[in-house]
Amino acid sequence: MTASSFDPKRVRADFPILSTTVHNQPLVYLDNAATTQKPSAVIERIVDYYTTENSNVHRGVHLLSETATASFEEARMKVKSFIGAAEAAEIIFTRGTTEGINLVASSFVAPRLHEGDEVLITAMEHHSNIVPWQLLCEAKGAHLRVVPIDDRGDVILEELETMLTDRTRIFAFSHVSNALGTVNPVERMIAMAHGRGVPVLVDGAQAVPHIPVDVRALDADFYVFSGHKLFGPTGIGALYGKRSLLEAMPPWQGGGDMILSVTWAKTTFNQIPYRFEAGTPNIAGAIGLGAAIDYVGKVGLRNIAAYEDELLAYGTEKLAAIPGLRMIGTAVKKASVLSFTLEGVHPHDIGTIVDQEGVAIRTGHHCAQPVMERFCVPATARASLAFYNTREDIDALGAALNKVIEVFR
């Protein structure tokens, strides 16, 4: 038995899609940074909701509505416990990470961002943590500033220090990089920002499936993630914000549920979190996310982190042995992601050929074009791990890559 204490072969049985074949080969799913597969527990919980509980929430006095509301709010409590928030009111359900970031940009940063002010991000961000800020800065005449990363894929902390100025209104950065796999020293970076009075938004989309997150220990002002990357359904995510910040924010979208009363003369708004949840929510999605959190809790994030560390080390070593392979993203602390190029072979050709061998990886710019430019590559091939991957999966990737080399030699 390895250092981590769970059996990946046993958990694979929980994921029905993993026994699929593609092109008559067993599926080797290594595209988890794009989206994760779902355990039966999550699939069944969603089916169960629609079969026995489905009703709109917060509005009815009939039993089904009460039941649905209870399940929905219970899911909110699960998210709160999962990331260590102080209270459920600090958890806003969104469509995903992208929407969460846009919400913060619009409702928190916009009112306090004036001409000449600054928004600070890093050079490793996903487009969802770049474009909302570009749009906002352009609208306000503010400056978007970017903390550089080094050749290994780490944020240059000395630069961060000088780039936190008294005009910086927000510092937004990722916990784990989707293109490079870098795990940032979040607590330290937040402390640096707070030392200059700068609030922080952390993009945790690639972190929560792999490492335990405690937003209060990190002292994050805002933390966002997506359900579908956490073995939950698509179309749901969560935004955590400190109560004091959320309470002071104007509404994001207007509509039902986020109001207290509506008249032609005046409309008053609901308390948090509902103020930021206009319209009928993705009820089934939230409940599915709750079930995913339960499932991950049973497996144990510490077990997951330890196991994935070993697997990532195995994968890194295996790929390093492939002639002409260059790993992009070699930070000391990494999670899940193996991004690479192969000399003389375009990533799309890599992707097509390994797909024929049943191996699913992603090729392209991974919604991180600035990262690709930083490393002077048009695109990379990316294998990304989850706890249901095995050494055999890595071996299959290695064999498929050797096939690629065969074709192109």
Partner 1 sequence: MSGEMRDLYQEIILDHNRNPRNYKKPGDANREAEGYNPLCGDHYKLWLTLDGESIRDFGFDGSGCAISKASASVMGTLIKGKSADEARAMYETFRKLVTGEQKPDIEEAGKMAAFGGVSDFPVRVKCAILAWHAMKGALEGADTVSTE
Residues found near partner 1 in the complex (CB under 8 A): 23, 344-349, 352-353, 356, 364-365, 378-379, 403, 406-408
AA letter at 232: G
Q: Which is nearer to partner 1, 181 or 347 (CB)?
A: 347
Our CB check for partner 1 shows the closer of 61 and 376 to be 376
Q: Do 184 and 342 contact (CB within 8 A), yes or no?
A: no
Q: Which is nearer to partner 1, 314 or 408 (CB)?
A: 408
Q: What Å distances lie between residue 227 and 29, 171, 234, 391, CA to CA?
A: 18, 24, 6, 26
d(CA 76, CA 201): 20
Give min distance, CB of 255 to partner 1, in A: 33
* Least distance from partner 1 to the Cβ atom of residue 28, Å: 16
The smaller minimum CB distance to partner 1, of residues 65 and 134, is found at 134
Q: Which is nearer to partner 1, 288 or 351 (CB)?
A: 351
Residue 166, judged by CB atoms within 10 A of its CB (0-12, 13-18, 19+), counts as exposed
Give min distance, CB of 68 to partner 1, in A: 39
Of residues 52 and 352, the one with the C-beta less far from partner 1: 352
Shortest distance (Å) from residue 134 CB to partner 1: 17
Pairing of strands 25-26, 21-22: antiparallel
376 among known catalytic residues: no
Q: How many CA atoms lie within 13 A of 329 on its CB side?
A: 31
- Rounded Cα distance, 356 and 352, in Å: 7
Residue 363 CB, shortest distance to partner 1, in Å, is 8
Whether cis (ω within 30° of 0) applies to the bond prior to 273 is yes
Residue with tokens 């600090």: 90
Parallel, antiparallel, or unpaired: how do β-strands 91-94 and 237-241 relate? antiparallel
Question: Which residue in 146, 157, 301, 367 is the catalytic one?
Answer: 367
For residue 96, give every residue at least 6 positions away whose Cβ sits within 8 Å of its Cβ, in sequence order, or none: 226, 227, 228, 234, 235, 236, 237
Q: Give the shortest CB-1-to-partner 1 separation in angstroms.
A: 38
Rounded to an integer, what distance in angstroms lies between the CA atom of residue 170 and that of residue 111? 12
Please provide residue 231's backbone torsions phi and psi, each rounded to the nearest 5 degrees: 70, 20
Catalytic residues: 367
